[in-house]
Structure 1
Amino acid sequence: MKTYQPALAAPLLVGLYGAIRLLPGSKEPEAGWLLGHAALLAGLLLFVPVLLELRRRVASRLLSTVALTVAGTGLAASVGQTLIDLWVGAVAVDKADQRRLFGEVQDVPGVLPVFYTVLPTLFYLGLLVLLFAAVRRIPVWSPLLVLVATVMMAMDLDLMTPGALLFALALRPLTGSAGVPGRPVTA
C-alpha cells in the first residue's frame, strides 16, 4: 500500500512549532525561537506536495488549478513570514532589538498584508477548497476537521499544536494507511 508521508509530517512539524512556542524563552531571539521557526518552515514546505496530491484527487482541473494557486500563494506568503521571523531571531541581540527589527521590517509598505495578515490566509482557503472538492476521494470529515483547526488557530496561536494534530488527522487519508479507500471520481 502506497504511503504519503508529507501529509503527516507537514502538520506534525507545524505542531512541533506550536509546542516549542509555548516554552519559556521561545519568544526571545534564542535557540527556541530558531528551532521552532525551523520546524515551522520545514512543515510549511512539506505542504507543497500535500497540495499537489490534493489537486490530483480533484476531478475539475479548473477548480483544482485555481485552488492550488490560491493555496500556493498563501503558502508562499507564510514561508516568507517564517523566513523574516528566522532572520529577525538570528540577528536580534535581545527582545528589544527583536521588536525594533520587526518594526523596521513591518513598517515597509505592503509587508504586513503580504506576509502577515492577508495573503497567508489564502493558504487555508485554497486548502479547504481542495479538500472539499476532493471529498469524492477522501472522507467528508477531512475538510471539516481542517476548518475547525483553522478557526481554532486563528482564535489563539496557543492552540496551534492541537490544531496541527487535527490537520494531521484530517490529512491521514492521503497517507494510504487510514483504512479509507479512495472513492473513484466519476465524470
Structure 2
Amino acid sequence: MNPRIAFVAAPLLTFAYGVIRILDGLDGSRGPGLAWTTGHLAFIAAMGLFVYIFSQMRRMAGGDALSTVIAVVATAGALALTTQFTIDVVAGLLSADNLSMSLLSREIRDTPGITFAAYDVGPYLFYVGQFALVVRLAVMRRIKGWTPLLVLCDLIMPNIDKDLIPLGAILLLVSFASISHRAPSTDSRSVPSTAKPTPTLV
C-alpha cells in the first residue's frame, strides 16, 4: 500500500464513523442496525490503517528503539479499540433492540480482562502513542512543527463531546496530509536501487 493513501484514508474513515454515529442517534438511540454496524466497521478499518501508519512513522523517525517502543504502544491501543468496536458490532448483530444490545455488551465486558484491556486502559495507549510519534517526528524536524497541535486537538475532541469526532477527523486529515508528503511513496523494499556500484580499488 502507498503510505500516502493510508494517511488520508484513516482520518476519512474516522470522519465517516463520526457522521454515521450522529445520524444514528437522531431517533434518540444508537444501534442496533445498519448505521451502527456500518459506522463501527468504518472505524475498525481506520484502526487497521492506523497500525500501518504507526509503522511508517516509526520508519520516518529512523526506526530507533524509542520510536519502536512508541509505535508498539500506539499499535496496542489500536488493537484495544478494535476489540472494543468488534464487541459493539457483534452485540449489535445479535440483538433486536438497544436494550438487549446494551445488556449483551455488558455481559461480554464482564469477561475477566476485557474491560481493563479494551475500555479502561488500552484505548488510551492509542492516543498517547499516536501523539508521541507525531511529537517525535516534529522534534526531529521530519514534519511541520504545527502538526502535533492539530493531532492533539483531534484527540481531545471526543473527550469534550463525541459529536465533535467529525471535526477532529478533519483536523487529523490536515495534519496527516502534511505528514504524508514526507512519507516514502512506496515501501522501500519495492523500490529498485538506483545507486551505482562502488568501483573496487585494486
Instruction: Within 5 Å, give how 1:1-187 maps onto structure 2.
Output: 4-23=4-23, 24=26, 27-59=30-62, 61-135=64-138, 136-176=141-181
Taking the aligned partners of 1:21 and 1:65, their CA distance within structure 2 comes to 33
For the residue of structure 2 that corresponds to 1:5, the secondary structure is helix
Gaps of 5+ in 2: 183-202
Taking the aligned partners of 2:88 and 2:95, their CA distance within structure 1 comes to 10
Task: Tell me the number of residue pairs that the alignment of Structure 1 and Structure 2 aligns.
Answer: 177
Task: Report how far residue 176 of structure 1 moved.
Answer: 2.0
Task: Report how far residue 174 of structure 1 moved.
Answer: 2.8
Given residue 21 of structure 2, which amino acid in structure 1 is its aligned partner?
Answer: R
Task: Report how far residue 60 of structure 1 moved.
Answer: 6.2
TM-score if structure 1 supplies the norm length? 0.88
Q: Which residue is 1:184 aligned to?
A: none
Aligned-pair identity in percent equals 36
Between structure 1 and structure 2, the one with the greater Rg is: 2
Deviations 1:49-95 (A, max 9, x none): 21111111114601101100110110110111111111011111111
Given residue 93 of structure 2, which amino acid in structure 1 is its aligned partner?
Answer: A
Task: Report how far residue 3 of structure 1 moved.
Answer: 6.6
Gaps of 5+ in 1: 178-187
RMSD of aligned Cα (Å): 1.8
Task: Report how far residue 159 of structure 1 moved.
Answer: 0.9
